[in-house]
Structure 1
Amino acid sequence: MIRQGHIFIASPLRFGVRVELERTLASMTSSPGQAEPENWLVPFGRLKRIHVARFVVLDDPSLRDRIALAESLPVTEPVRLAFIADYDGGDAEFLEALAVVAGPGLRKIFGFCIDFEPRTDLIAWMRAHRCRTAANYINWRGRGTRQIAEEAALHRALRAARLAHRTEDPETLWPILAQAGQAVPLTPLQKMPLLHRLGDIAHFLLLPVLALVLLPLIVLGLLPFVLLLRRREKTDPVLAPVPDRERNRMLSAQEDHDITNQYSAIGSLKPGRFRRWLAVVILWVIGWGARHIYRKGRLARVNTIHFASWTFLDDRRRVYFASNYDGSREAYNDDFINKVAFGLNLSFSNGLGYPRTDWLIRGGARREEDFKRYLFHHQIPTQVWFKAFPGLSNYDMARNARIRAGFEARPRGRALRRWIAEI
């Protein structure tokens, strides 16, 4: 099983460089927001271990909400440039490979940040500006870029052979397909190293052990928690402004260039320690669940997300959310509202202005119009976004994995018929 990593690097911008930075980032794209794999600054296509990556300017359009809704929060926060990537392998080897392939380009881009100088040690700077992600979701843990590429090639070869030999007899078709498949090199799937397995087991046990140890405190604190939560839920202000058409056109211009889209959103947490630490605990539990429960193709009942992450900023006053998903933005939102509204409420209800919830999981996203307006209010453009496998959805990757497993198992009878139907 391939080890996978996630990195979030961010630093405030120098004064007055925003226009030049966005012009530079735009030079990396072939269409709005869509990275050219062999672009002149960061040729993502040469980094075979990357699944998805993005450069995004973290300029929060919702900061003005603090003036009306949360006077205890500062009305300004720094505008940052962020680089975010999901990849195979360890962090150190990824940063080294990134510096080798794109060192000069990264220096040019990060040179717009306040503390990056011409002689700055690039790798040390990236490590120093890494932000720890509060929760990270991977659609299928351990499915690496090499596996995806090889299984897609296998599917193409088998499909071409099947279309070229239109026979209804599976037993006659199998030798033809087997010959076509043998021409595609398949790297043996790796098993998770023992040390990583032990680490996973230890991390899995952490939540139940903590819950057991803290059970007396949880029981004692449950009533005060519920009373405080309900008081906040009944009085927290809601803000769901009507979407601006021009801004919607700008965001829409970056979408639907492929079967998969990107999503970036940023916003403030509701003021006070209660909401802040509630968000910390909830996102930690979401990260735990993504690592141990939702690791094979689905986040609850939603199977369209490739990667997603939540990251705290500014001493946990704000949260940035990044997602990579199949389908349109509208379908993505509807999928969550209809299937896992409670999960949306857990994830985002501590955000300033979020539609009113009841008992933390009811209401909220179920107030569909307010919820969609709230999401749009916090969405920001992603200046550069890269996906290693354009045209491949999560469904395609899962199907290709099943085809590979069937091919290697050499099915017979009904199993052979079912396998051929997948091709």
Structure 2
Amino acid sequence: MTPQSSFMVVAPLLPGKVAALRALLATMNHCPGSIDPDNALVPFGRFDRLHFARFAILDDVTAGDIALYGVKPADFPVYLVFLGDCDGSKQTFIDDLARKAGEGLRTIFSHCEGFNPGNALGSWMLAHDTPAAAAYVNWIGRPVRQIAEERALRNFLSANVPRGVDGRANGDPQSIRKHLRNLVDAERNAGRLSLTEPEPTPLGWRIREWLHAVWVPLVLLAALPFFIVALPFLAWKLRSLETTDPEVVYRPPEAQLAKLRALEDYDVTNQFTALGSVKPGRFRRYAVVVLLGLLDYSCRHIYNRGHLTRVQTIHFARWVLLDDKQRLMFASNYDGSLDSYMDDFINKVAWGLNLVFSNGVGYPRTNWLVVEGARNEQHFKNYLRRHELPTDVWYKAYPGLTAFDLATNTRIREGLEASSASDEQVREWLKLL
């Protein structure tokens, strides 16, 4: 199994460089929101281990909201972020990026403070890599190559299955499956289809995951007595903040919404990038760190096979704390429209949204951390849109495929490769084609 890695290069921009950098990044797109995978700067389509990537400029228009707490807004820098999700080691992938797209990346990063084109590019990127506080992978161990091969397999099988007038597979199911298996074997022997065996799972990754799976519960168990003692104070503190925290939930200007919408719906999958300030005070700061740690544990060890709680439309997502944990960035790759994405979360896991995002300045008011909040649908949607930032460049390695498609294609392959199957199992398998 090939595990996935993520990287996020974060660097402050030189003064006055935002417009020039946006214009440069725009040359990587066919049009706003639609990338040219073979663009001259960073031809993402040539990297066969890259799932998703994006460039975005973090220019936070909501940073002044914290003044509602009587806190002077910080003078945060404007950042360029370059993030991606890849198969295998991120260091290996970044080295590959530096070799194959070094000139274009140097041109982009020349807009950033402290970048010297003469320095080793890969080392500079790794030095500016900012780890996620929590990260989600839809299916750990499904590499880009497998996705491409299973897509080709499904297309081939769908084109060759005998069908009746109703479009369904027609004939004895076992005979059809045997026929299709023979056709696939012939295509593989001719080199027109590939079904590569999974790579061995790296031992170091296995050890790290096992240690993390064991270590976190042990720490929580050790902290439990102290938490119980502190619980009355924590409950009082939480409610006192919840009843007084200001909301900032008005609808964003139409021009801002139009700019964001212009970047959406070029594929069955969309991107989302958002940034906001964490509410002031130690309580909120510690709360968001602990809750993101628990979220990360859940994503790594529980929700790693096609769903994040009850939501099944996210490919990759990450939560990143910036500026000494004063701000939180969220980035995701999701299927469907933004409205359907927000509705999915509101209807299925509003409590989960509240756990993390209620620690953000201006979030719709919650009750005991998990109640209300995102349940106030329009306020939540306004809040999310206010904090959303344009994603200047966005790449997806397998356009046209949803997370559901990826799961279906894997089931098709498993059904084909199974040593035996009952008639009923084969009938269900044929329905997938």
- Separation (CA, whole Å) in 2 of partners of 1:211 and 1:267: 28
Q: What residue in structure 2 maps to residue 228 of structure 1?
A: 237
Match of 2:197 among 174, 188, 200: 188
- Separation (CA, whole Å) in 1 of partners of 2:364 and 2:296: 24
- Separation (CA, whole Å) in 2 of partners of 1:267 and 1:97: 32
Q: What residue in structure 2 maps to residue 390 of structure 1?
A: 399
Cα deviation 1:72-119 (Å, max 9, x = unaligned): 243421001000000001122111100111000000000000111231
- Separation (CA, whole Å) in 2 of partners of 1:191 and 1:359: 45
Aligned-residue CA RMSD (Å): 1.3
Q: What residue in structure 2 maps to residue 416 of structure 1?
A: 426
My pick for the range that moved more, 239-248 or 152-161, is 239-248
> Does the 8 A contact of 2:58 with 2:79 survive in 1?
yes
Cα deviation 1:309-349 (Å, max 9, x = unaligned): 01111111101100100000000000000000000001200
Aligned positions of 1:131-170 closer than 5 A: 131-162=130-161, 167-170=170-173
Match of 1:262 among 242, 264, 271: 271
> Does the 8 A contact of 1:150 with 1:186 survive in 2?
yes
TM-score under structure 2 length normalisation: 0.95
Could you say if the C-alpha distance between residues 233 and 82 of structure 1 is closer, same or farther in structure 2, counting changes exceeding 3 Å?
same
Match of 1:176 among 158, 175, 179: 179
Match of 2:367 among 358, 362, 370: 358
- Separation (CA, whole Å) in 2 of partners of 1:71 and 1:121: 44
Could you say if the C-alpha distance between residues 200 and 118 of structure 1 is closer, same or farther in structure 2, counting changes exceeding 3 Å?
closer
Q: What residue in structure 2 maps to residue 123 of structure 1?
A: 122
One-letter amino acid matched to 1:408:
E
Match of 2:284 among 263, 272, 275: 275
- Separation (CA, whole Å) in 2 of partners of 1:70 and 1:41: 43
Match of 2:384 among 366, 369, 375: 375
**Which ranges of 4 or more aligned residues in structure 1 deviate by more than 3 Å?**
163-166
- Separation (CA, whole Å) in 2 of partners of 1:108 and 1:195: 35
> Does the 8 A contact of 1:73 with 1:271 survive in 2?
no
Q: What residue in structure 2 maps to residue 92 of structure 1?
A: 91
Per the TM alignment, residue 264 of structure 1 is displaced from its structure 2 partner at its CA by 0.5
Q: What residue in structure 2 maps to residue 19 of structure 1?
A: 19
> Does the 8 A contact of 2:162 with 2:176 survive in 1?
no
> Does the 8 A contact of 1:63 with 1:267 survive in 2?
yes
Aligned positions of 1:22-41 closer than 5 A: 22-41=22-41
Give structure 1 stretches of 5+ with no counterpart.
none
SS of equivalent residue, structure 1 residue 61: coil
One-letter amino acid matched to 2:178:
P
- Separation (CA, whole Å) in 2 of partners of 1:244 and 1:371: 16
Q: What residue in structure 2 maps to residue 401 of structure 1?
A: 410
SS of equivalent residue, structure 1 residue 251: helix
Taking only the aligned residue pairs, the percentage that are identical comes to 46
* Matched pairs, number: 422
Cα deviation 1:141-186 (Å, max 9, x = unaligned): 1111111111111101101101678633223322331123222221
SS of equivalent residue, structure 2 residue 408: helix
Per the TM alignment, residue 196 of structure 1 is displaced from its structure 2 partner at its CA by 2.6
